[in-house]
Amino acid sequence: MKKVGIIGYGWLGARIAASLSNTYKIYTTTTTVEKAEELNAKGVHAMVVNFPDYQLSEPYPKWEALENLDVLIITIPISEKSCCVSSLYNRIRNLSSFIGEFKGQMFLMSSTGVYPDTEKEFTEIDVPVEKISGERMVRNKYPQVNILRLGGLMGDNRLLKNYNVSNLNFAVNHIHYKDIAGIILKMIENGTEKCLYNVTAPFHPAKFQVINAQKNIENGEEPEEVKGKKILSSKLVSELEYVFQYPDPRKFHEI
């Protein structure tokens, strides 16, 4: 059985782990002792670790579990929006000390927030890795890394109707967590490396259409114009031949 490490057992990390646990042995990190104890009791190998955005007096010790891991999935924030560039450098430096010279298959969870708020359709070539500090730093250190630019994370308790939403005529760029896990699973099976993919559901309805569907409001009207940017996942569909479980955000609330 292959062993998968997940750095960051938050909302997404927990759901990726649950989706892979039937096929792979899971090792993970969390930020609290209580959560680590809870996970270890459930058979998930967990340890407590944080990755501060300041320079440590001594480098992080290498994660001992890495010696046995086949796959590493990084879900902690690695972006300029989470901290300034100098702080980001320190965070990635601390992360790199923890990972060491890992040579296995690797995944970095990035965000479609790297694309500007321009009303157009974006593909990966519009904003290459070299222009995004966090992605570039990680790829320079780990050239094999797969970078997944995730849309708005949805599914379970995350539904658009639960948020204070503006610009209701603007398109959504959402992704169901089950499709994130499905894409990672397929890439693991394929042994995929060095890829950059946008990960968004293929359909981009207006926000009000998604909210109406989630509130069971009967409104079949199409908007006169769906505004805003649309982040396309056509590259991963073509290269991976991936079929989305949840292609339409208007149906994310359906089980």
For residues 239-247, give the mean pLDDT.
Answer: 98
User: Is 209 domain-assigned?
Assistant: no
43 pLDDT more than 80: yes
Tokens linked to 244: 């989305």
For residues 21-42, give the mean pLDDT.
Answer: 94
User: Is 218 domain-assigned?
Assistant: no
User: Is 20 domain-assigned?
Assistant: yes
- Give residue 212's pLDDT: 94
Number of domains in the chain: 1
- Give residue 114's pLDDT: 95
Q: Is 109 exposed, middle or buried (0-12, 13-18, 19+ CB in 10 A)?
A: buried
What CATH number corresponds to the domain at position 178? 3.40.50.720
Of 45-49, 110-114, 217-221, 251-255, give the lowest mean pLDDT range: 217-221
Model confidence band, residue 61 (pLDDT cutoffs 50, 70, 90): confident
SS (H, E, C) 26-49: EEEEECCHHHHHHHHHCCCEEEEC
User: Is 67 domain-assigned?
Assistant: yes
Distance CA 101, CA 141 (A): 9
Q: What residues contact 101, with CB distance under 8 A and at least 6 apart? A: none
Distance CA 18, CA 144 (A): 25
For residues 177-183, give the mean pLDDT.
Answer: 98
- Give residue 57's pLDDT: 66
User: Is 152 domain-assigned?
Assistant: yes
222 pLDDT more than 80: no
For residues 35-50, give the mean pLDDT.
Answer: 93
| Dihedral sign for Cα atoms in the order 52, 114, 108, 76 | positive
| Cβ neighbour number for residue 119 with a 10 Å cutoff | 12
Determine what percent of the chain is predicted with pLDDT higher than 70.
94
- Give residue 73's pLDDT: 98
54 pLDDT more than 90: no
- Judge whether 137 and 83 are in contact, CB under 8 Å: no
82 pLDDT more than 60: no
- Give residue 87's pLDDT: 82
User: Is 43 domain-assigned?
Assistant: yes
- Give residue 83's pLDDT: 60
Model confidence band, residue 88 (pLDDT cutoffs 50, 70, 90): confident
Model confidence band, residue 230 (pLDDT cutoffs 50, 70, 90): very high
Which residue pairs, CB below 8 angstroms and at least 24 apart, start in 77-83?
78/108, 78/110, 78/134, 78/135, 78/137, 78/138, 79/110, 79/111, 79/113, 79/114, 79/132, 79/134, 80/132, 80/133, 80/134, 81/111, 81/113, 83/53
- Give residue 221's pLDDT: 64
Tokens linked to 217: 């409001």
195 or 79, which is more confident: 195
**Structural domain that includes position 179:** 3-164+173-204+230-251
User: Is 221 domain-assigned?
Assistant: no
- Give residue 247's pLDDT: 98
User: Is 190 domain-assigned?
Assistant: yes
- Give residue 62's pLDDT: 83
- Give residue 23's pLDDT: 93
Sequence-ordered strand ranges (E) for the chain: 3-7, 25-30, 45-48, 71-74, 105-111, 121-122, 146-150, 152-154, 174-176, 196-199, 230-231
Of 171-180, 192-201, 211-220, give the lowest mean pLDDT range: 211-220
* pLDDT tens for each residue of 149-175: 999 999 999 999 999 999 999 999 999
